[in-house]
Structure 1
Amino acid sequence: MRGHEHSVNELSGTVHGFVVQASSVHGGIHVSGPAAPEETPPPWQLPPAVRITDRADALRALEVHRDRASADGHPTLAAVSGLGGVGKTAVALAWLHALRPDFPGGQLYADLGAQAPEGPADPCEVVARFLRALGVPVGQVPPTLGERVALYRSLTADRRLVVLLDDAATAAQVRPLLPAGRCVTAVTSRRRMPGLSLDGGHVVHLEPLSADAAVELLDATLADGRVAAQPEEARALVLLCAGLPLAVRIAGARLAARPKQGITSMVRALSEERERLEALAIEGDHDVRAALDLSYRGLPPAAARLYRLLGLHPGREFGVPLARTLLGGEAVEALDALHDANLLVDVAEETGGERYRFHDLVRLHAAERAALDGSAEERATALLRIGHHYLANACRAEQVVEPGRDSLERNFARGVEPGAVAAEDFAPVEGQTAADAALDWLERELPNLMAVVRHARAMGAPELAWQLTDAVWPLFPRRKLYREWLEAHREGLLTAEAEGDGEACCRMLTSGALGRLATGDHAEGLAMFERAAVSFEERGDALGHARTLNYRGLAHRRLGRLDSAAELFARAADALPALGDLRAGALARFNLADVALAEGRYEDAAVDAEASRLVLEAAGDAYNAARAAGLTGRACVGLGRLDRAEAELSAALSALRAQAAGFEAARVLGGMAQLAERRGQPRQAGQLYREALSLYDSVGRSGSAEAAEAAARLGALEPPEARARPEAPERPEADPPPPPGAGTGPAEEGRERGGAGG
């Protein structure tokens, strides 16, 4: 033993991470550990704060409530209520922005749309947006409100963030949106919402500003000394504005644009307008209407015209391209004039891009000016331009997502053909596919698209209801927007029936019925498919009728009627190729194989699944071809052809994972686990079942029948008493039981990747 000098190696104190203690070190030393996972950056969604005046008492009350809730270990919930234009959102923003240093988990914001023309926002969709902002991938957002709320509360339980729920309609709308943990939530509403006190909420009601505070706000808006020079006139002006910050800012903006005009002229103008604007008053906001009318009269002609036309827009927000469609080359300058006059709110910081919205009262005023100052022909043309703007751009997005899709015929009104409509920008950003960018645009504009669908008849273009629904179809299954899926097809069907358009009725029935299947309403889906079948037959459309055979089979399969499903799938598999639709025929044969697998007829399942796969590969349908390979693999497990099963299942899993098809990948993992069982490898089988269950959970399908089967088989492999004992070495079983014949699920349009829908 070679001698060496005595060395001392001591370690004390608190140590985090790796520790190396050594006397002498020779050679290269490398220490590594698991890489830290990438985290989604915190969302910072709050709109920018604006100047507030005379709200110190309200802010103090909000802070006192927060201190009490924090001391008790509870979340903070506060509601700010008051008249439209009184400054509720401004107060909430001032409070929440000041809390940012203490709440590093981020800021969430949602406009709940109590005054929106399309009705209040659906909490289910708002929670989905919050989940995506918190890092949940689109495909992993659960389908139901209860599951979404549970995941939302789990994600916020240990996160310090603030939430602003703006313009709430009811306490019931708010409750699903409340985070867990020690988060802070502010709600604004025109109602006092006492119901939130049951949830620990504290209501702060805002009254209009005092005259002194309103004068201070006017002075800050003008910032040119006129208020100090004309104090009495300034006081008279803010009294005519009823102490509402919105009205004061509008009057101030008008004066600011006329630096040589005295305040007296504005007071005189408002006083003269009061009687004439009585009919425009809402909730007693007489003077707000007068101020708005004066601002409108001061606009350049092009801006005034755009103001009227935008007042007809059925949605809450709009972008620059919509304004260009309405006004042409003067649109951008006109938008700037409206924004400078405080008649438009720039929401670019909230949503990205160049987007605007009206304050609720301003939107109503713009609509009134359109009725009073514009001709009936101008209004009718504007409505058609708005509707066809969204139709033309939705068609562009549809072709990006599903090029060559067999769509319903699109009829554009004269003068608003696609070439006359300004193109929306949905070019992909770095790291994004063109299809994803187009889907993002469709989802962002969905409130406007749905508003056009609802108002199509009133807009004088009823065909927009079904044509726009058909164009937006690729979005619904891919982003799992079930509520809009069902509503759009319901409205499209009613309108098509009223107009006597048989082709549109059939498309709305079949596409809408697929939505029913997706939401579990299988009986209603079957009834809709059967109505479509009768209609196709009456119209002499043999191909359409043959497609309904496959669809009706899907519904029977979901209802557990395997014999009926198999009979319909077999008829479809024979009829569709003969009528020229090879891909649909292959999908019907896939579904026939799925029924055979469920019934334990493994040879039939393997033959039909393999035949289906070959046609689907030739048609370029990689997704359904991979599903067919997975079904073939499971059938081979049942037949004992284990090497073939392994090859098919492995290929299917790689293809489905590459397409982010989590639910189908989990099904294939279940088949691989059954293969491991047949090979006498319970440990590997258990690991695969656990992986499948984790994947089912990540895509929000932990309650599915497939997940329940995987859990049951895992439980059989690992009974509670066995889990506590060391596992014995694996050895082949003498006569392993065949796996249950649960199929991989029917091939259908619109589950993981969407489809033609018709």
Structure 2
Amino acid sequence: MRGHEHSTNANELSGTVHGFVVQTGSVHGGIHVSGGGAREVVPPPWQLPPSVRITDRTDEIRALEAHRDRATEDGHPTLAAVSGLGGVGKTAVALAWLHTLRPHFPGGQLYADLGAQAPDGPADPGEVVARFLRALGVPSGQVPPTLGERVALYRSLTADRQLVVLLDDAATAAQVRPLLPAGQSVTAVTSRRRMPGLSLDGGHVIHLEPLSPEAAVELLEATLADGRVAAQPEEARALVALCAGLPLAVRIAGARLAARPKQGITAMVRALSEEHERLEALAIEGDHDVRAALDLSYQGLPPRAARLYRLLGLHPGREFGAPVARTLLGGDAAEALDALHDANLLVDVAEASGGERYRFHDLVRLHAAERAAQDESGDERAAALLRVGRHYLAAAGRAEEIIEPGRVGPERDFGRGVAAESVAEEDFGPVGGQTAAEAALDWLERELPNLMAVVRLARPMGAPELAWQLTDALWPLFPRRKLYREWIEAHREGLLAAEEAGNGEASCRMLTSGALGMLATGEHAEGLAMFERAAAAFLERGDALGHARTLNYRGLAHQRLGQRDRAAEFFARAAAELPAHGDLRAGALARFNLADIALAQERYETAAVEAEAARLTLEAAGDTYNAARAAGLTGRACVGLGRLERAEAELSTALSALRAEAAGFETAHVLGGLARLSERRGQPWQARQYYREAVSLYGSVGRSRSAEAVGAAARLGALESPGTADSPPAPPAPDPSGDDRRGSGA
């Protein structure tokens, strides 16, 4: 038999050839395959591994099937890629889908483990397609020698065949492409890496996240199948939470329990509760375990990405932005971040949080920290943590300057050469109609879990200065967003750190700022004691300005304790001494506090004068927040004086400014003033609206039991009682001098 001749090339075959005849040499068009003489009929291959139970994947399987329907309608092969973290159930989902297709694809099922994480490297596509050819009936001796010839034959054999193919654990899209069959076949690809490149081949890419708590409990129950989950539901939820929703981890925990039928779920919870032992506990001897799955992903990383993975494992919080990665890696970390994301070792949370932002799956974070402990020296780990701390301190300090440009703070440098290192800048760019201060406050609140984690770690890692300096930089956030728990905790830790560092000035700052947090949470006596400690320390240091500031603070504590006359004495001394020592802003705050006392005592004229003087000074100092508070207090005093037009102007200005600051407690005060103004104008319906919002705001910031909140709720109740007239008699006309009976304090 003579082959096709072209140019100077000719291939000759002699004798009798049985089975497939392959035309080679210079080939034009397709590869022609013809049957020889009588040959054995090869049954279809059915190579798919058996299915395993899956939960909570209905949406993903429905999406895969919808993609197949579209491809079939268009006359194209179906290609789908399932990506996700090792152990998240990619293969289980692919198998669950593909097994349902067997009645519709009689041509068989092909399966290949492409070994992306194999110790000796990913599988060679040429070897895989050769196995596929043999499974489809091509004798070993007749498998073509080159990849191109094998692929051509493979596609010819599958052109008219209804076939299902699973390519498991793929390394790259390039490894997959030679293995895609032709015709109306269905191919599923699983990979720990995201494979957007397969979209160019018509592929539909889905990404698997860990299971929800409910689905994870269901999987645990199916794994045990002995009633223990139903008998211990809370313990079961605790167990799957420690497995972080990773199906492999849940199955391993369930399998270990199944082997111990008399053991309660609590015992496994205990075994997993210690973080450093959790990966060890999630293993079954001689079988897959979570650490092994993550080790394989880690070993496939480029060196620079692997180092970033280790260093990010030291990060004290769950989420972090791209600037942290740049700080740790000492330069442009974009390529390394992309590699970690593509390997599904990082979850991109930018859509929910804004900017470039990532988090680790809980078990991945443990693995990364474990690799850091193994592959980084103690000095390298300490230096990395210190770089993270300095990054957050520098960013928080910059945010503080934007929010309170007039606030005088200490020079922040925690030494040991770290100050000379570069730190990546955070972006505080306003979003939408935000001001720069609002954007900076939002950044501080979003990063607060990380900032608090650094505060807690600073002393144990030998950098106490970092704890109190970061706490001090966080000061603008705490009162504005009413973050009381963090306020108290940070200042307690900051005080311990300042005392450990032997820094008297820092200790006084932590005492005064921390005591203000005590006042905000109702711990007035403890707050006063802290202020007294600070006052004594300032006197001992010879710091007259610091001592003068404690006068204002001690006045606040006495005011909260109901000792108004004693409070007024302290405020009056502070209002006189603070400007004399050069702190005009603090002096203005003392006058504001005097106005607040006067308002409570219905000395409206004094309240209006002191509040207006405070507002002018605060505006000049650039303190817009406290200036707005002063305007609100002036407006409330003017309501009492009957100067209703002035009251409306002041209260409206204050309301706009305080809403923009998201200052719920102070906004509620202003709303109460507007409600009283509406009452005096004979507008009870408007007053009710203001009181309702005020009461809601007091509740939202945890101050529903404050005197102001109780008063607003009482007035609202009175206005909503049956028989309340909508048009009460107009109040008496105010005295032209502005001093009516209420204004005189009578």
Tell me the TM-score normalized by structure 1.
Answer: 0.58
Task: Give the equivalent residue in structure 2 for 1:692.
Answer: 690
In 2: Cα distance, 1:206 partner to 1:621 partner: 49
CA contact under 8 A between 2:575 and 2:588: conserved in structure 1? yes
1:654 paired with 2:652, answer yes
Q: Secondary structure at the match of 1:660?
A: helix
Residue 4 of structure 2 corresponds to: none
Aligned to 1:462: 464
Q: Say which SS state the counterpart of residue 562 (structure 2) adopts.
A: coil
1:392–1:418 contact (8 Å) kept in structure 2: no
- 2:519 aligned with 1:517, yes or no? yes
Question: What whole-Å deviation, never above 9, does each CA across 1:709-740 have from its counterpart, x for those lacking one?
Answer: 34545666x595633x7867658599999559
Q: C-alpha distance in 2, partners of 1:698/1:85?
A: 47
Q: Could you say which residue in structure 1 is the equivalent of 2:98?
A: none
**Whole-Å Cα distance in 1 between the matches of residues 215 and 698 of structure 2?**
29
Match of 1:722 in 2: 723
Instruction: Sort the Cα spacing of 1:334 and 1:734 in 2 relative to 1 into closer, same or farther, 3 A.
Output: closer
What residue is the counterpart of 2:538 in the other structure?
A: 536
Cα separation, 1, equivalents of 2:490 and 2:91: 35
> How do 1:722-741 and structure 2 match up within 5 A?
722-723=723-724, 730=730, 732=732, 739=742
Q: 2:570 matched to which residue of 1?
A: 568
* Residue of structure 2 aligned with 1:321, choices 320, 323, 336: 323
1:362 equivalent among 361, 364, 368: 364
Q: 1:700 to 1:389 in 2, by over 3 A?
A: same
How far did residue 491 of structure 1 move? 1.2
8 Å Cα contact 1:59/1:91 also seen in 2: no
Letter in 2 for 1:652: E
1:575 CA drift (Å): 0.8
8 Å CA contact 1:303–1:334 kept in 2: the answer is yes
CA distance in 1, matches of 2:385, 2:457: 10
Code of the aligned partner of 2:281: I
Quote the residue 1:401 is aligned against: 403
Which residue of structure 1 aligns with residue 71 of structure 2? none
Cα distance in 2 for residues equivalent to 1:539 and 1:428: 42
Matched, 1:281 2:283: no
Cα pair 2:87 2:293 within 8 Å, conserved = no
Aligned with residue 451 of structure 2, among 449, 456, 460: 449
Aligned partners of 1:189 and 1:413: how far apart in 2? Answer: 52
Tell me by how many angstroms 1:320 deviates. Answer: 2.0
What pairs with 1:605-616 in structure 2 (closer than 5 Å)? Answer: 605-616=607-618
Q: 1:296 to 1:699 in 2, by over 3 A?
A: same
Partner of 1:19: none
Q: Tell me the distance in 2 between the aligned counterparts of 1:709 and 1:355.
A: 44
String of CA shifts for 1:234-272, please: whole Å, max 9, x gaps. xxxx9xx99769xxxxxxxxxxxxxxxxxxxxxxxxxxx
Separation in structure 2 between the aligned mates of residue 729 and residue 303 of structure 1, nearest angstrom: 76
Going from structure 1 to structure 2, the CA distance change for 1:633 and 1:494 (only over 3 Å counts) comes to same
CA distance 1:433–1:296, shift in 2 (3 Å): same
Task: Note if 1:506 corresponds to 2:508.
Answer: yes
- 1:488 is matched with 490
* Number of the residue aligned with 2:134: none
CA contact (8 A) 1:652 1:668 kept: no
Give the letter aligned to residue 548 of structure 1.
T
Cα deviations across residues 209-228 of structure 1 (Å, max 9, x unaligned)?
xxxxx9xx9xxxxxxxxxxx
Distance, in Å, in 2 between the alignment partners of 1:571 and 1:425 is 43
Question: SS of the counterpart of 1:659?
Answer: helix
Partners of 2:86 and 2:297 within 8 A in 1: no
- CA pair 389-729 structure 1, distance change in 2 beyond 3 A: closer
Give, as a single letter, the amino acid of the residue that structure 2 aligns with 1:284: A
Q: Whole-Å Cα distance in 2 between the matches of residues 186 and 529 of structure 1?
A: 52
Deviation, 1:411, is 0.7
| Partner of residue 581, structure 2 | 579
Decide which structure has the larger Cα Rg and report it.
Answer: 2
* Contact 1:656-1:664 within 8 A present in 2 as well: no
| Distance apart, 1:312 and its partner CA | 1.7
* Secondary structure at 1:329 match in 2: coil
In structure 2, relative to structure 1, the CA distance for the partners of 1:533 and 1:89 (3 Å cut) is farther
- Conserved? CA contact 2:488–2:518, under 8 Å: yes
Contact 2:455-2:490 at 8 Å conserved across structures: yes
Q: Is the 8 Å Cα contact of residues 326 and 386 (structure 1) preserved in structure 2? A: yes
Tell me the SS of whatever aligns to 2:345: coil
| Conserved? CA contact 1:663–1:695, under 8 Å | no
- How far 1:693 moved relative to its partner? 0.8
Tell me if structure 2 keeps the 8 A contact 1:89–1:166: no
Distance 1:327-1:577 versus aligned 2 partners, 3 A rule: same
Q: Give ranges in structure 1 of 5+ residues lacking alignment.
A: 1-51, 61-83, 93-163, 169-184, 208-213, 218-237, 246-276, 743-758
Decide whether aligned partners of structure 1 residues 670 and 676 sit closer, same or farther in structure 2, where only a CA change above 3 A counts. Answer: same
- Secondary structure at the residue paired with 1:356? strand
Deviation at 1:697, TM superposition (A): 2.6
Q: What do the CA deviations read for 1:624-659 (whole angstroms, capped 9, x no partner)?
A: 445445544555665xx53xx224312211211221
Cα 1:647–1:333 shift into 2, 3 Å = same
Q: Is the 8 A contact 1:657 1:665 kept in 2?
A: yes
Q: Give me the whole-angstrom Cα distance separating, in 1, the residues matched to 2:427 and 2:698.
A: 32
User: CA–CA distance in 2 between the matches of 1:559 and 1:278?
Assistant: 50
Distance 1:443 1:654, change over 3 A: same
**Structure 2: runs of 5+ lacking an equivalent:** 1-49, 59-84, 94-208, 222-226, 254-275
Measured against aligned partners, the alpha-carbon deviations of 1:675-724 in whole angstroms (never above 9, x if no partner) come to 6777xx5x33x3454243123134234543224334545666x595633x
CA distance in 2 between partners of 1:634 and 1:626 (Å): 12
Distance of 1:315 and 1:489 partners within structure 2? 19
SS at match of 2:320: strand
1:550-594 CA-to-partner distances (Å, cap 9, x unmatched) read: 111111111111121111111111111110111211221221232
Q: Distance in 2 between matches of 1:358 and 1:543?
A: 47
Q: Deviation at 1:58?
A: 6.7
Amino acid at match of 2:52: D
Compared with structure 1, are the counterparts of its residues 53 and 87 closer, same or farther at alpha carbon in structure 2 (3 Å cutoff)?
Answer: farther
2:435 alignment partner, one of 428, 433, 436 = 433
- Contact 1:402 / 1:474 at 8 angstroms: preserved in 2? yes
Q: How many positions carry a matched residue from both structures?
A: 512
1:181-209 CA deviation, whole Å, 9 max, x = no partner?
xxxx87879999999999999979989xx
Structure 2 letter corresponding to 1:281: E
Q: What is the root-mean-square deviation in Å for CA atoms of aligned residues?
A: 4.6
Shift of 1:370: 2.1
User: Residues 179-578 of structure 1 correspond to what in structure 2 (within 5 A)?
Assistant: 281-284=280-283, 287-329=289-331, 331-413=333-415, 416-417=418-419, 420-578=422-580
Q: One-letter code of the match for 2:541?
A: R
Assess, with a 3 A threshold, how the Cα gap between structure 1 residues 201 and 504 changes in structure 2: closer, same or farther. Answer: closer
In structure 2, relative to structure 1, the CA distance for the partners of 1:189 and 1:475 (3 Å cut) is farther
CA distances 1:662-681 after superposition (whole Å, capped 9, x unpaired): 65455456556656777xx5
Q: Tell me, what secondary structure is at the counterpart of 2:698?
A: coil
Q: Is this contact kept in 1: 2:572–2:591, CA < 8 A? A: yes
Moved more, 616-625 or 436-445: 616-625
Residues of 1 paired with 2:433 and 2:332: CA distance?
35
The superposition leaves residues 380-413 of structure 1 with CA deviations (integer Å, 9 ceiling, x where unpaired) of 2212111111111222222222224212321144
CA shift, 1:533, in A, is: 1.3
* 1:281 Cα deviation after fit: 2.0
Change in CA separation of 1:738 and 1:362 when aligned onto 2, cut-off 3 Å: same
**CA apart distance, 1:284:** 3.1
Q: Against the structure 1 CA distance between its residues 325 and 712, is the aligned structure 2 distance closer, same or farther, given a 3 Å change threshold?
A: closer
